[in-house]
């Protein structure tokens, strides 16, 4: 959004936000390889997460301070509220590190969209949600195959319990398509589309308000510009909730898929 605002200020033309605002130029090049802002933000998120939770964990006191309490609260939320609830008490602990990591990774990269100068949610570039969706796909399928064997897991995922007869000719391909092939796609699109649309709305109302207040001669420009600017602020607060919910939903669905892969019956 910063780049869009800068370009608009320089041209003073009516804003026309669109997908082009997500196609950011390279910040610098390594040989012929261009390093873009989203790439830098993803790398930055690793340092932010590791640094923040190292600071929270360092005291390791019996009576936690505020930072340690905050870290334990987030960890407990993922551990008990997501992993244990959906995978089960017997096997959930070995998946907690993965689920905790993807929750924080998605959350931090979503929240970039609200910070001044950063102002770009990394997950609005489809490659990043696709990569972690494929990783989740590998984790839950790998867990199911390890427990049941390849053919046993394939049967578990494609043959609904208690179903017999010719109806299986219809159900098995549908279950295979739904449970094996489409899940990483739906995980990707849910996260990507929400972050893309939310950031596009912020650009639209921010640029629209700026144009109407500073450059338009229309008699309705002042009230319309104020409304547009207020909507941009309101959407920013709404985005805080949506960004958290998207990180939660992505992690929740990943844990549900793991739990289903390990379940005794489909």
pTM: 0.88
> What is the C-alpha to C-alpha distance for residues 206 and 226, in angstroms, rounded to an integer?
10
Q: What is the pLDDT of residue 208?
A: 81
Alpha carbons within 13 angstroms on the beta-carbon side of residue 117 total 0
pLDDT of 112-143, one tens digit each? 988 888 889 999 999 999 999 999 999 999 99
Reported as a pLDDT band with limits 50, 70 and 90, residue 9 is very low
Radius of gyration of the chain measured on its C-alpha atoms: 23
pLDDT at 6: 52
- The pLDDT tens digits for 169-223 are 888 889 899 989 999 999 999 999 999 999 898 888 888 888 777 777 777 778 8
Asked whether residue 167 carries a pLDDT value surpassing 90, the answer given is no
pLDDT range class, residue 14, cuts 50, 70, 90: low
Torsion sign (Cα): 120, 125, 128, 133: positive
Average the pLDDT over 231-257 and give the result.
94
Counting residues of the chain whose pLDDT is more than 90, the rounded percentage is: 49
For the beta carbon of residue 152, count every other beta carbon within 10 angstroms.
12
Q: 55 or 14, which is more confident?
A: 55
Q: What does the pLDDT read at residue 10? A: 46
**What is the enclosing helix (H) or strand (E) of 29?**
strand 26-30
* pLDDT at res. 218: 74
The CA-based dihedral angle spanning residues 42, 46, 48, 50, taken in that order and rounded to the nearest 10 degrees: 170
């Amino acid at each position: 959004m910063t780049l869009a605002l800068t370009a608009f200020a320089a041209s003073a033309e009516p804003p026309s936000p669109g997908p082009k605002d997500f196609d950011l130029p390279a910040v610098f090049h390594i040989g012929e390889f261009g390093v873009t802002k989203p790439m830098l933000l993803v790398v930055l998120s690793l340092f932010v997460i590791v640094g923040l939770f190292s600071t929270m964990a360092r005291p390791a006191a019996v009576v936690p301070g505020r930072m340690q309490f905050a870290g334990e609260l987030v960890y407990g939320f993922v551990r008990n509220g997501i992993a244990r609830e959906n995978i089960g008490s017997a096997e959930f602990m070995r998946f907690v590190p993965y689920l905790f990591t993807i929750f924080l990774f998605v959350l931090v990269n979503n929240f970039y969209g609200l910070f001044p100068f950063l102002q770009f949610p990394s997950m609005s570039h489809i490659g990043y949600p696709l990569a972690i969706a494929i990783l989740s796909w590998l984790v839950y399928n790998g867990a199911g195959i390890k427990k049941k064997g390849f053919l046993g897991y394939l049967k578990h995922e494609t043959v609904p319990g208690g179903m017999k007869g010719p109806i299986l000719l219809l159900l098995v391909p549908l279950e295979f398509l739904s449970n094996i092939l489409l899940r990483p796609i739906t995980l990707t699109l849910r996260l990507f589309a929400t972050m893309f649309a939310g950031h596009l709305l912020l650009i639209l109302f921010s640029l629209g308000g700026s144009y109407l207040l500073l450059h338009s001669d229309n008699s309705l420009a002042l009230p319309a510009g104020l409304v547009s600017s207020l909507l941009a602020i309101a959407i920013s607060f709404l985005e805080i909730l949506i960004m958290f919910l998207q990180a939660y939903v992505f992690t929740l669905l990943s844990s549900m898929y793991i739990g289903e892969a390990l379940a005794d019956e489909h």
